[in-house]
Amino acid sequence: MPTLLILFGLRFYFYINDHEPIHIHVENGDGEAKFEIQSDIKLLYNRGLKPKDLRLAESIIEENKDNFIRQWEKIFSGNE
């Protein structure tokens, strides 16, 4: 599971066998969420993250979206 960023107690990562659409997983001690980032940022599921952590995660994703997409393309370019 490549970790892309750890910030404010949130870890942003991909699973090594992930699939389209481009998305990112976010976790902390409370749970995990998954956001689609291919076009607009969209919450796909939440399993335990508090609303304030979801808002923080979405803000961090917005700031780092281009980098996360580049990393996705770098990691998965040969796996599709």
Distance (Å, whole) CA 3 – CA 18:
13
Q: What is the pTM of this model?
A: 0.90
Q: How many domains does the chain have?
A: 1
Contacts 24+ apart (CB under 8 A), 8-11: 8/56, 8/60, 10/53, 10/56, 10/57, 10/60
Domain with 63 in it: 3-76
Q: What is the full per-residue pLDDT of the chain (80 aa) written as tens digits? A: 789 999 999 999 999 888 888 999 999 999 999 999 988 999 999 999 999 999 999 999 999 999 999 999 888 886 44
